[in-house]
Amino acid sequence: MKTVRNLIIFACIFVVVLGQIPLGSDIIKRQDPFLAGVLSWYMAGLGQIYAGDYFKGTVFWIVDTTLWISAILTVADINFSSNSDIGFQLNIKPKENITKKQETIAISLATGFVLFRVYTIIDAIRSVRRNNLELIRSQKNMTFLDFENDGENNYLGIHYRI
């Protein structure tokens, strides 16, 4: 009888403690800084969006696209026309007589594009690291259920982070 009572008390304590432990979808997972950098390398602003900063990601994408298109428009003739057979036609040809000023502008825009892309990568990595630090700080004073296997034995523990 005493064993059953102790078992019921243990089960009640375990349920109360387990209710305070973040499990499954309650745990906010840390973000990967490397993935944020790769996403920003692929498309400027995507790493910021991954980090949760949608406004900055959108602005970065607009600036990046504007630099890219401006550099192309400086050295290329673009002809956009409608065609009854296929709907529309887009022809991009390099300009035949590029002035020194146009060449300098195109090189400056292309350099700005590359430098801005590097900045977006660094910013995405920093944003994710900052988010991860805030997450760690917010998880202080939380109880965690921990499972460990050392090869021979399994350990189940409850940790309280102070």
Residue 66 lies in a domain: yes
Domain housing 103: 26-141
* 10 has a pLDDT exceeding 60: no
Number of domains in the chain: 1
Name the pLDDT band for 89 (thresholds 50, 70, 90). Answer: confident
Residue 107 lies in a domain: yes
Q: Provide mean pLDDT across the span 134-158.
A: 67
Residue 52 lies in a domain: yes
Question: Within 10 A of 132 (CB to CB), how many other CB atoms are there?
Answer: 16
Residue 146 lies in a domain: no
* 151 has a pLDDT exceeding 80: no
Residue 11 lies in a domain: no
Q: In sequence order, which ranges of the chain are alpha helices (DSSP H)?
A: 2-19, 33-42, 46-51, 54-75, 100-138
Q: Provide mean pLDDT across the span 71-85.
A: 80
Lowest mean pLDDT among 68-72, 103-107, 142-146, 153-157: 142-146
Lowest mean pLDDT among 43-57, 68-82, 83-97: 83-97
Residue 157 lies in a domain: no
Residue 54 lies in a domain: yes
Mean pLDDT of the chain: 78
Distance, in Å, from the CA atom of 126 to the CA atom of 50, rounded to the nearest integer, reads: 12
pTM above 0.85, yes or no: no
Q: What digits encode the pLDDT tens for the residues 17-72? A: 444 445 444 455 778 899 999 999 999 999 999 998 999 999 999 999 998 888 88
Residue 10 lies in a domain: no
* 100 has a pLDDT exceeding 70: yes
With a CB cutoff of 8 Å and minimum separation 6, the contacts of 159 are 143, 144, 146
Long-range contacts of 14-23 (CB under 8 A, 24+ apart): 17/143, 17/158, 18/145, 20/143, 21/143, 21/144, 21/145, 21/158, 22/142, 22/144, 23/145
In the block, residue with structure tokens 């970065």: 60
